[in-house]
Structure 1
Amino acid sequence: MKFLTLVAALLGGVGTTLASSVIPNTDPLIFFHGRWDTAPETWWSGSGFKLNVANLTSLTINLGPNTTLPSVALGVSIAYQPFFSFDAVPGANVIPLPAPATLNSNEANGTTVVRINAEMYFSSQMNLESIVLNEGAHLVPYVPSAIAFEFIGDSFSTETVVAQPGAALTDIFSYGNVHGMSFQFFQTEDTSYFNDPFHNYTTPWNFSRDVPERTHVVVHIGANDAAQGVTQDDFVQTYLDFLATIRVLYPTQPFFIFTPWGWPNPEGPNSYYYPGAYPTVVEGRQALGDNNLFIVDTTGWVTYADVYPDSLHPSVEGHMKIAGLFQAWLENWGLEPLEAWSN
């Protein structure tokens, strides 16, 4: 395999039809998303990569020793079909592909888009070493979406990047997280770094690596601050300081501030935390001249029928309901959905 990679380099360009089918992790046509360290190794749920492949009939990913043991749960989507779960291990992992009729389905250029993400919010390290394609297959550029959301939060948002279950916004220890999001958001690593035998340190994240540039920012956080006894005044001040910091990173992007949908009860109304705090935060930013942030009132979005009774977190169907309601909110706000995939 190393010999083939060397041959590919001598031929003048890994990722072309003249090159080897072994694609090193340094190939510029691998589109990395989320947060990767220099290994490269994923951190935060949802981090992964995308490929745009011509003539694809087989796909193997080779993972290195920093991969979570005994396996890392990956979400895999081929040709924009629904994601399926795949447990990958250090070494070679053959990715199952759909029927040939489904592959190379992009009518514009006859390519197949492959999306692979680390699924979990812990034990989610995918240490990519190389990718092996069938003979005759080659990578072409992947074009990212023109709309790119950044979601920042806790377990309610952790299906996306830069969200950590149990984490508070305040920089305190909370449910196994050694830092709050007001610190950890600015790091490459998620809070599980603390117990990682290969990597128990943090590295500041280089936000210029966020490609594509974020177009919208959603913040949904506060439940764990309340659970840890952070006062409402302290929470509001921490939130204001956090928004001031990320506004420097995202100077023109609209911020969407989710209010809590509360903790559903089998009988009676939901219970809420920090009543009135979120409008206070938005009004505080607006008083400073920042009018590009908006309250998303999620009251009534989640009922007891939408959550897992043992944890009161939204079920799969509950998250689909929330996504649908937020999509409707965004369209009413003025965001037009894209007509088609970018590739």
Structure 2
Amino acid sequence: MGIIARFRDFKAIGLIGVLGLCVASMAEASPASFTIKNDNPLIHLHGRWDSSPGTWWAGSGFKLNVQDLQSLTLNLGPHTTQPLAAVGVSVNYEPFRTINVTEGANAIPLSASSTTLSLKKRSQSVVRINVEGWQDNRINLETIGLNAGAKLLPYTPQKLAFQFIGDSLSAGQYCPDGVDQAWTFLTGEDFKAEHNINAQPGAALTDIVSYGNEHGVSYQFFRTEDTGYYYTTDHNYTTPWNFARDQPEPTHIVIHIGANDNSQGVSAANFTQTYLTFIKNIRVHYPHQPIFAFTPWGWPNSDGSIGYYYQGVYEQIVKDRIATGDHNIFLVNTTGWVTWADVFPSNQHPSPSGHIKIAGLFTQWLNNWGLKAEKNWETPALV
């Protein structure tokens, strides 16, 4: 319900302002530079990357810690989404900005805002880059160019790391800045945490065809590629994901899914069994991490009513897991979290302000549960 079957004319969320954001000239010019190969171990990759290397799944990207940074160029290969892909860029932990990139050399604007010190006054800078789109979100990283005199340093990840699993309601579908405006991404930022987001718009948890997705999340979560593999003729296969590549290993798992199972007519009994099997399979990789299972916040209507689905099912799933001896799974009751004022009227998906509200409510829930945000970034931006 409410999911459009993978429109191919959606060319990177964040096209608004494309002329203003594709501004290589904004990058500070450097008379000379040196090149970092894509296999440099000091490039801290997060999310899912294939062997090209290229990104899959919204939010995948990398972090850099650079001494004496003045300019940065991304040299991207032919697997990059054409004509462009929208990426979020954050320098020194400032809010993410949308930059559109394409195959070839892309000079990334690094100028700090008026509220912070300029790059020239910093001896150590942290750059975070991720793909924003819920589809058409591939960047094929070949090399990174830095200004002469810059030095790549190790990036130390945060001790707290979220793994989010879901569908369009977790991927930021329809938001101008895509996943960077989603409650999942915002929650990770609120806690100063690392965060991987595996969310497929239109996908059911059950392994069925759903709104253009050839597989359900119960299958695709364990693969490198997202559902876009099916439409990408140069890479139309699925590769088992090596969970050892998740560095750091997630400390907390968050699942919000089921809307598309309900829309596809999956019975409550079948959905329950699929969910229980999915958690069992997750426990192979994450045996001890807390799992937070969201109940649906439903589909708000203009008359104030809410269309709920699988009522009571999530409560039973958690009870069934606890009965097996899994005492590290918790129900997050989201009833009443989202109203008509929090969604796009045309599709009932959370608007940017709605995602902010959801992130705030979940942050409060986690605080009450006992989880607190990290006080500092492990890799600081130093003056």
By the TM > 0.5 criterion, same fold? Answer: yes
Q: What do the CA deviations read for 1:131-176 (whole angstroms, capped 9, x no partner)?
A: 0000000110001111000000101111252110000000000011
Structure 1: distance between partners of 2:45 and 2:105: 20
Which among 265, 289, 303 is matched to residue 325 of structure 2?
Answer: 289
Which amino acid letter does the alignment assign opposite residue 152 of structure 2?
A: L
Task: Answer whether contact 2:70 2:120 (CA < 8 A) is retained.
Answer: no
Which among 70, 95, 103 is matched to residue 119 of structure 2?
Answer: 103
Structure 1: distance between partners of 2:226 and 2:208: 14
The reply on whether 1:27 has 2:23 as its aligned counterpart is no
Which segments of 5 or more consecutive residues in structure 2 lack a partner in the other structure?
A: 1-32, 172-178, 180-184, 186-196
What's the offset of the Cα at 1:197? 1.9
Quick check: 257-266 or 97-106, which moved more? 97-106
State the match for 2:305 in structure 1: 269
Q: What do the CA deviations read for 1:44-86 (whole angstroms, capped 9, x no partner)?
A: 0000000001101111000000000001111111111111111
Task: Answer whether contact 1:79 1:105 (CA < 8 A) is retained.
Answer: no
The reply on whether 1:120 has 2:133 as its aligned counterpart is yes
Q: Superposed, which structure 2 residues align to 1:1-343 within 5 Å?
A: 21-99=34-112, 101-103=117-119, 110-158=123-171, 159=179, 161-343=197-379
Q: What do the CA deviations read for 1:238-269 (whole angstroms, capped 9, x no partner)?
A: 00000011011101100000000010011132
TM-score (norm 1): 0.92
Task: Answer whether contact 2:49 2:60 (CA < 8 A) is retained.
Answer: yes
Task: Answer whether contact 1:306 1:315 (CA < 8 A) is retained.
Answer: yes
TM-score (norm 2): 0.82
SS at match of 1:218: strand
Change (3 A) 1:266 1:216: same
SS at match of 2:126: strand
State the match for 1:11 in structure 2: none
Structure 2: distance between partners of 1:329 and 1:39: 40
Structure 2: distance between partners of 1:193 and 1:147: 30
SS at match of 2:142: strand
Task: Answer whether contact 1:262 1:272 (CA < 8 A) is retained.
Answer: yes
Task: Answer whether contact 1:21 1:138 (CA < 8 A) is retained.
Answer: no
Task: Answer whether contact 1:193 1:201 (CA < 8 A) is retained.
Answer: yes
Task: Answer whether contact 2:304 2:339 (CA < 8 A) is retained.
Answer: no
Structure 1: distance between partners of 2:346 and 2:74: 36
Task: Answer whether contact 1:75 1:83 (CA < 8 A) is retained.
Answer: yes
Q: What do the CA deviations read for 1:278-313 (whole angstroms, capped 9, x no partner)?
A: 001001101101010000011111110000001100
Structure 2: distance between partners of 1:65 and 1:313: 33
Task: Answer whether contact 1:151 1:162 (CA < 8 A) is retained.
Answer: yes
Task: Answer whether contact 1:79 1:104 (CA < 8 A) is retained.
Answer: no
SS at match of 1:163: strand
SS at match of 1:156: helix
Task: Answer whether contact 1:105 1:112 (CA < 8 A) is retained.
Answer: no
Structure 1: distance between partners of 2:40 and 2:120: 21
SS at match of 2:168: coil
Structure 2: distance between partners of 1:338 and 1:82: 17
- Superposition RMSD on alpha carbons, in Å? 1.4
What's the offset of the Cα at 1:124? 0.6
Structure 2: distance between partners of 1:333 and 1:131: 41
SS at match of 2:315: helix
Q: How many residues align?
A: 322
Structure 2: distance between partners of 1:111 and 1:266: 50
Task: Answer whether contact 1:156 1:314 (CA < 8 A) is retained.
Answer: yes
Q: Which protein is bigger by CA-based radius of gyration? A: 1
Structure 2: distance between partners of 1:254 and 1:308: 32
Task: Answer whether contact 1:62 1:128 (CA < 8 A) is retained.
Answer: yes
Moved over 2 A (4+): 99-106
Task: Answer whether contact 1:54 1:111 (CA < 8 A) is retained.
Answer: yes
SS at match of 2:53: coil
SS at match of 1:69: coil
Per chain length, whose mean CA-contact separation is higher, i.e. which structure has more relative contact order (CA < 8 Å, sep 6+)? 2
Task: Answer whether contact 1:104 1:111 (CA < 8 A) is retained.
Answer: no
Which amino acid letter does the alignment assign opposite residue 319 of structure 1?
A: H
State the match for 2:174 in structure 1: none
